[in-house]
């Protein structure tokens, strides 16, 4: 799989960026990737963290002015898909498991869905060891660590999913989800989540830390098992 690219949007949450990069550095195969970051201006610590990331090649692009979440996401993905036919998009508050890239790359070899999602919210009781590498399909698009093809991205542009926040306050991922539902498009995902959302504070579309804990944070994901097994 040539031109392996991870895109990321970065703004003003260095504590999250630091954790995101730490987990990314532990991913199997990260040295074969290019990390492309679209960075909103105004936080030198975020830029310094990204500049010092040495686990893979990096390309850092600082916006001349604040683009807002929707437009900056579109920019990051555009920059990535200019270099590759597929991207893995990871926001500043998303942690990846060690084997996440392996699952993403397997999907790239056979992209049998509109997107590939690494996030899955399941209960511990729903899991057993036979389901460790299980894949499933769902109707809902989930943005917290996902793979997208160039063809799918072009569809999102046709659908005008990245309307600026200041004009039409609806997040880009909800727009994509709405269009995919209307067109009966599916999303493949790892039954055992390979991503974690830690963005309880400062998120554009997160009303409170309590809401984040209830709706986005995972009590159980791949890293939980690794820690229990001392991996």
Sheet with 4-10, side-by-side order of all strands:
57-62, 33-39, 4-10, 86-89, 146-149, 115-117, 187-190, 135-138
Question: Cα–Cα distance between 147 and 195 in angstroms, integer?
Answer: 12
How far apart CA 186 and CA 229 sit, in angstroms, is 33
Residue range 106-143, pLDDT digits in tens: 999 999 999 999 999 999 999 999 999 999 999 999 99
Each of the 231 residues of the chain gets a pLDDT tens digit; together they read 668 999 999 999 999 999 999 999 999 999 999 999 999 999 999 999 999 999 999 999 999 999 999 999 999 999 999 999 999 999 999 999 999 999 999 999 999 999 999 999 999 999 999 999 999 999 999 999 999 999 999 999 999 999 876 555 689 999 999 999 999 999 999 999 999 999 878 777 788 888 888 889 999 999 999 887 876
Beta bridge partners of 189: 117, 136
pLDDT for 200: 76
**Per residue in 149-170, pLDDT tens?**
999 999 999 999 998 765 556 8
Sorted by where each begins, the domain ranges of the chain are 4-228
Q: Which CATH superfamily is domain 4-228 in?
A: Spore Coat Polysaccharide Biosynthesis Protein SpsA; Chain A (3.90.550.10)
Residue 101, token pair as written in the block: 């890239």
């Amino acid at each position: 799989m040539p031109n392996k690219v991870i895109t990321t949007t970065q703004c003003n949450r260095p504590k999250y960026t630091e954790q995101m990069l730490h987990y990314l550095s532990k991913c199997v195969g990260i040295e074969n990737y290019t990390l492309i970051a679209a960075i909103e201006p105004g936080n030198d610590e975020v830029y310094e963290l990204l500049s010092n990331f040495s686990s893979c090649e990096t390309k850092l692009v600082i916006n001349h002015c604040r683009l807002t979440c929707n437009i900056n996401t579109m920019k990051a993905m555009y920059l990535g898909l200019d270099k590759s036919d597929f991207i893995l998009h990871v926001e500043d508050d998303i942690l990846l498991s060690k084997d996440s890239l392996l699952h993403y790359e397997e999907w790239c070899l056979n992209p049998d869905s509109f997107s590939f999602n690494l996030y899955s919210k399941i209960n511990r009781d729903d899991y057993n060891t036979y389901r460790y590498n299980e894949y499933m399909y769902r109707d809902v698009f989930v943005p917290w660590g996902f793979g997208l093809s160039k063809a799918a991205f072009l569809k999102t542009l046709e659908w005008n999913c990245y309307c600026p926040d200041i004009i039409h306050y609806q997040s880009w991922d909800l727009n994509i989800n709405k269009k995919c539902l209307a067109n009966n498009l599916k999303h493949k995902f790892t039954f055992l989540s390979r991503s974690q959302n830690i963005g309880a504070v400062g998120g554009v579309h997160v009303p409170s830390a309590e809401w984040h804990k209830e709706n986005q944070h995972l009590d159980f994901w791949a890293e939980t098992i690794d820690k229990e097994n001392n991996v």
